[in-house]
Amino acid sequence: MQIIIAKCKEEFDRIAADTVSQQIKDKPNSVLGLATGSTPLGLYAQLVERNKRGEIDFSQITTFNMDEYKGLPKDHPQSYHYFMHKYLFDEINVRPENINIPNGEAADWAKECAEYEEKIRAAGGIDLQVLGIGHNGHIGFNEPGTPFEALTSLIELDKRTIKANSRFFDSIDQVPRQALSMGIKTIMQSRKLILMICGRDKAEIAYKAIKGPITPEVPASVLQLHPFITVLLDQDAASDL
Ligand code: F6R
């Protein structure tokens, strides 16, 4: 596990963007795994700028997002489809047919999950997966207690996740209670990972994920077992290490 502590938010975003850019330069037809949430917003802004400046090319890139709320239509402002298009996909030269996000409105969940796994396999697997972490240690929407062997599945969101994500909705009642998420095993099968952690409020979980016991109660702790993971923290998130 490589641990990098960025001096400031600008450096944090730049290092994350350098990691993704390098992956794209090394392998122009890379398969990228992507996350939503506040943490990667600066990364996506940098990727957009670099793409507009002609420094990186997404024309052969395939993407797989980790998760989507159950029941939210693609054009709902809080859906992860909407988020990804707004902050990244609509601003770069990725081909629409190469974008993959779980379908929050799938009629048959088991089928949607199995097909998502199959699509990842058919694309050759994920080369670089971008991850954030929840206050409870979730990665994707794999909440505490999720078995490490889990593949893409329908997840019951934890109370703490619903509360944290209610900041984006008008009220907590509007936050979906379920989501479709790539499994922990799916995430661990990625060739490389970058886990991004920022903010003082993430310091305790950062410590547990990086230095604590490896346990399903802290889903991100499984990442200690991955041979090619970079953990990128800002100084606040690293303050308990
Ligand atoms: C979202 C995802 C989640 C977030 C996590 C942190 O696609 O995978 O695991 O990374 O909830 O969210 P933020 O960055 O908003 O603190």
Q: Convert the pLDDT of each residue in 62-77 to its tens digit.
A: 999 999 999 999 999 9
- Sequence letter at residue 232: L
Q: Which residues line ligand 1 (CB under 6 A)?
A: 35-39, 66-67, 132-134, 138-140
Residue 226 annotated to the active site: no
Could you tell me the end-to-end alpha-carbon distance of the chain, in angstroms, rounded to an integer? 14
Q: How far apart are CA 141 and CA 119, in angstroms?
A: 19
Specify the pTM: 0.97
Task: State the closest ligand 1 atom to the C-alpha of 140, by its place in the atom list counted from 1.
Answer: 8
Question: Which is the closest atom of ligand 1 to the Cα of 37?
Answer: 15
> Which DSSP letter does residue 2 get?
E
**The CATH number of the domain covering residues in 2-233:** 3.40.50.1360
H/E/C letters for each residue in 19-69? HHHHHHHHCCCCEEEECCCCCCHHHHHHHHHHHHCCCCCCCCCEEEECEEE
CA separation for the pair 19, 144 (Å, rounded)? 28
pLDDT of residue 220: 98
pLDDT digits (tens, 9 = 90+) for 78-122: 999 999 999 999 999 999 999 999 999 999 999 999 999 999 999
